[in-house]
Amino acid sequence: MTHHAVHHHLVTAAGDLSPALEAALIRLGPLEFPRRDSQSFPHYLCRAISGQQISVKAAQSIWKRVEDSADGTPLLDHFVAGNADLLRACGLSGAKTKTIITIAETHREVGLDTDELRAMSIAERTARLTAIWGVGQWTADMMNMFYFGEPDIWPDGDVAARKTLERLTSKRRKTVRSAERFKPWRSWLALYMWAHADAPPDGQAVK
């Protein structure tokens, strides 16, 4: 389905739920869903972890230092326990350092093959990801949406998406229940909530 058709579906569903939400969706117009799958999944996941809860500029600066610290070694081979102090010196927190090293170890030991993960159901993929230390439901939701292109994820753990939908509908109604009306395009609903709040989940502009 085209992004124009998805927008029409969302506007129609919103019309039965909330005039404010319907108006917000109409004002935003059709949005394209960004895909960020140009690199291997383990590499993308590590970079996503490194950039969480900091500004785009800070994330870019830290990741550049991480890349430089590898000195030509493939990054996933560079992410080992023996390099933890070096990675923290790049600006990564202790928790992010541990998570990134654990992701790389998991990939080396049991595999985080991109094609294998893509072939899994959302539930299977989420279970595989959240079994990794430091990777929670929110991160799994973001990976499912932006890397694997799943169209029907409602990330209720995302504060910006949840609070925006709540403001545009009703504080008395559970946002999970409201989002149900927008199946099978709940990932797109989240995209519109971030655009309305001007608060994309990874600091990158929603276009």
pLDDT tens column, 148-171: 999 999 999 999 999 999 999 988
pLDDT confidence band for 202 (50 / 70 / 90) = low
CA 41 from centroid of its chain's CA atoms = 13
Residue 83 belongs to domain with CATH number: 1.10.340.30
pLDDT confidence band for 200 (50 / 70 / 90) = low
pTM of the model: 0.90
Query: Residue 207 pLDDT more than 60?
Result: no
For residue 112, the enclosing domain spans 41-135
Residue 13 belongs to domain with CATH number: 1.10.1670
Q: Determine, yes or no, domain membership for 142.
A: no
Q: Looking at the structure, do residues 105 and 59 belong to the same domain, yes or no? A: yes
Q: Determine, yes or no, domain membership for 100.
A: yes
What confidence score (pLDDT) does residue 199 get?
65
Q: Determine, yes or no, domain membership for 146.
A: no
pLDDT tens column, 25-60: 999 999 999 888 788 999 999 999 999 988 889 999
